[in-house]
Homo-oligomer: A and B are copies of this chain.
Amino acid sequence: MNSVRAFAPATVANVSCGFDILGFAIDAMGDVVEVRERNEPGLQVVSITGDGGRLPFEAEKNTCAVAIKAMLDELGQDIGMEIYLEKGLPLGSGMGSSAASAVAALVAANRLLGEPFEKKQLLPFAMVAEKVACGAGHADNVAPSLLGGFVLIRDYHPLDVIKLHVPDGLHCTLLHPHFELKTSDSRSVLRDSVSLKHSTIQSGNVAGLIAGLFQEDFELIGRSLRDVIAEPYRATLIPGFYEVKEAVKAAGALGMGISGSGPTLFALSKGEQTVQSIIDAAQQVYDSIGLGVDTYHSAINTQGAFVLE
């Protein structure tokens, strides 16, 4: 019986000033999905590991199955598949966990079917799964997990996804404190309107970040990692946020922000030299407030999801 396994990386969405429009993929970790041909029609989630028993097996709720179903619907085919999900990413962490599962499932299933779709064409199916998982069909996690690198979602109507240049040596450290923050809570603290002044400041920083990536100007990237729209509200939900930010910047980080809707924080740095200092500095703050933290670090992933041969 034919089977394909695929890997999809973790992602950092928003990236401070890029609220709802930017995301990037990291090498450090991700999810693996195996898809096997099945003799009868329908999708069956056969096994899920690494989730502590929390993810649903029902095909209409499981993001892998939902994504594959959307793809098969587009093809007008009712092909049977078994799904085996190996979670590498913690749930509800802000590292694009649901996105990675959906993307890995799509890349595996697409290969199993003889690749009727190009990689980029899988995006809308992953967004259907995000809608089921998160309540909103955002693309700022699924697009970088699928395509790799730094990705801009310029528009949704129609979908306009642009892969940006990533300078060599740009490194990301993730700090995942041991508590869970619901995306819905993290979104509910946002305001429906922003001042013209803050909107303009945010635009300036987004423009600076994009220019910094293309010009490979690490200092400019660092200066531009400033979010005046979401961070001031979300930071109040994340213990130690400003202390950690101050500490990691003093330790050499270019800047720090909230990964997705949190509670994971991401810090960017030039190369790996300062990573251990950044981790030590953050660890010290979390120790002082009695909160455990897992840390990861890696280069920016530029490949995106791929089939494991």
Q: Which residues of A contact B (CB under 8 A)?
A: 17-22, 152-155, 160, 162, 164-165, 190-196, 198-211, 214-215, 220, 223-224, 229
Contacts and interface: CB of A to CB of B under 8 A. Distances in A.
A220 B19 contact: no
A203 B200 contact: no
A200 B20 contact: yes
A205 B157 CA distance: 13
A194 B196 CA distance: 6
B200 A19 contact: yes
B203 A192 contact: no
16 contacts: A19-B200, A21-B203, A21-B207, A22-B207, A154-B220, A155-B201, A165-B214, A165-B215, A193-B193, A194-B195, A198-B199, A199-B229, A202-B203, A203-B206, A210-B211, A211-B214
A17 B210 CA distance: 15
A139 B215 CA distance: 22
A154 B207 contact: yes
A158 to B, nearest CB: 10
A213 to B, nearest CB: 9
Nearest to A229: B199
Contacts of A165: 214-215
Contacts of A196: 190-194, 229
A150 to B, nearest CB: 10
Contacts of A162: 208, 211, 215, 220
Contact of A160 (B22, B155, B202, B223): B223
